[in-house]
């Protein structure tokens, strides 16, 4: 673990997409002295984390608006090739009628998200565990998501956490809008590995703080292989899908985040995965 891992896995050909791996957020006191060096100032934590990881999921945007200058500052503190994913606001997703989310979505993008520039990756729209699948309702939400702003293409991914979404109709709807669904490795929420867009997004949430590398080596090996399969346009055969049909094979970018309850060892798990896919 002494050497810094390579940056995002970038294929020398067009046969594979990039693989971005990281954690959720970068401000977490228990990481000090474990992931962060003892005497590192808090102001330098993002810069340090970005030197070891290839992506970070920004979670603060889920709870409230950030300022344009914050997005600009974060973009300056990470190296070329580093990409943030950004969690969309709960005000857009935690509502009974999703068709009424338009104003919340607009306010989110007006807050300055695009100031991240080429460091902006997917926006994650996370839904409550109580939200059930309603095709017309969910379709209206997907229609509201802007596909382009200020001349740049935007990426969206949805995270659903009710078993009613484990249905072919949901997968067909996502494919219609070319929107990926999060693959959640979680003890409670549904695991949906169907590929429905031009990138893949995985949240690995079964890490263990009693294990120095967060996951046992064999599980890290297995996850590295899955990430590489997705990047090459294939699909792992050992993950559950809601629809038996596979997507057309094509290289895809992959975003994977090691996130678990204690989260102390999450950076170590992410760094181990980066080593394995580089």
247 domain-assigned: yes
- pTM, rounded to two decimals: 0.94
- Which pair of tokens denotes residue 169? 């109709």
Give the lowest-confidence range in 1-5, 33-37, 109-113, 177-181: 1-5
Q: Say which residue the tokens 């049909």 belong to.
A: 245
Could you tell me the CA-to-CA distances from 212 to 7, 75, 187, 190, 269 in Å, in that order? Answer: 22, 30, 21, 27, 8
How many beta carbons lie within 10 A of that of residue 195, not counting itself?
24
Range of the domain at 32: 19-277
The stretch 177-206 carries a mean pLDDT of 97
Distance CA 50, CA 5 (A): 11
> How many domains does the chain divide into?
1
Q: Say which residue the tokens 């330098």 belong to.
A: 44
Question: pLDDT of 124-149, one tens digit each?
Answer: 999 999 999 999 999 999 999 999 99
Report whether pLDDT(5) > 70. no
253 domain-assigned: yes
235 domain-assigned: yes
Report whether pLDDT(1) > 60. no
Looking at residue 4, what is its pLDDT? 44
Report whether pLDDT(13) > 70. no
11 domain-assigned: no
8 domain-assigned: no
5 domain-assigned: no
189 domain-assigned: yes
Looking at residue 246, what is its pLDDT? 86
Q: What is the CATH number of the domain that holds 146?
A: 3.20.20.410
Distance CA 56, CA 256 (A): 9
Question: pLDDT of 224-273, one tens digit each?
Answer: 999 999 999 999 999 999 998 888 999 999 999 999 989 999 999 999 99
- Which pair of tokens denotes residue 3? 């050497």
CB 147 within 8 A of CB 166: no
Indicate the pLDDT class of residue 14, thresholds 50, 70 and 90.
low
Looking at residue 245, what is its pLDDT? 86
135 domain-assigned: yes
The string of DSSP letters for the chain reads --SPPPSSB--SSSSS--EEEEEE-S--GGGBTTTB-TT--GGGHHHHHHHH-SEEEE-HHHHS---HHHHHHHHHTS-TT-EEEEEPPHHHHSSS-GGG-HHHHHHHHHTTGGGGGGGEEEEEEE--TTPPP-HHHHHHHHHHS-SEETTEE--EEEE--SGGG-SHHHHHHHHHHT--B-EEE-SSS-------SSEEEEEE----TTSTTSS-HHHHHHHHHHHHHHHTT---TTS--SSSPPPPP---EEEEEE--SS-TTHHHHHHHHHHHH-
């Amino acid at each position: 673990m002494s050497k810094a891992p390579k940056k995002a896995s970038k294929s020398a050909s067009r046969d594979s997409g990039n693989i971005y791996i990281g954690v959720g957020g970068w401000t977490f006191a228990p990481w000090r002295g474990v992931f962060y060096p003892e005497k590192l100032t808090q102001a330098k934590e993002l810069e340090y984390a970005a030197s070891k990881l290839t992506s970070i999921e920004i979670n603060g945007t889920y709870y409230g608006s950030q300022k344009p200058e914050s997005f600009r500052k974060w973009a300056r503190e990470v190296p070329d090739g580093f990409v943030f994913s950004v969690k969309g606001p709960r005000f857009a997703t935690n509502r009974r009628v999703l068709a009424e989310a338009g104003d919340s979505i607009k306010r989110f993008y007006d807050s300055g998200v695009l100031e991240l520039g080429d460091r902006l990756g997917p926006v994650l729209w996370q839904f409550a565990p109580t939200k059930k699948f309603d095709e017309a309702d969910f379709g209206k939400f997907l229609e509201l998501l802007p596909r382009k702003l200020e001349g740049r293409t935007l990426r969206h991914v949805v995270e659903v956490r009710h078993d009613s979404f484990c249905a072919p109709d949901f997968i067909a709807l996502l494919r219609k809008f070319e929107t990926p669904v999060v693959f959640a490795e979680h003890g409670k929420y549904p695991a949906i590995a169907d590929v429905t867009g031009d990138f893949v997004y995985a949240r690995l949430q079964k890490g263990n703080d009693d294990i120095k590398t967060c996951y046992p080596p064999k599980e890290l090996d297995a996850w590295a292989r899955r990430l590489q399969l997705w990047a090459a346009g294939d699909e792992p055969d050992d993950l559950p899908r809601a629809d038996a049909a596979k997507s057309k094979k094509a290289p895809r970018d992959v975003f994977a985040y090691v996130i678990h309850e204690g989260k102390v060892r999450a950076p170590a798990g992410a760094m181990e995965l980066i080593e394995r896919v580089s």
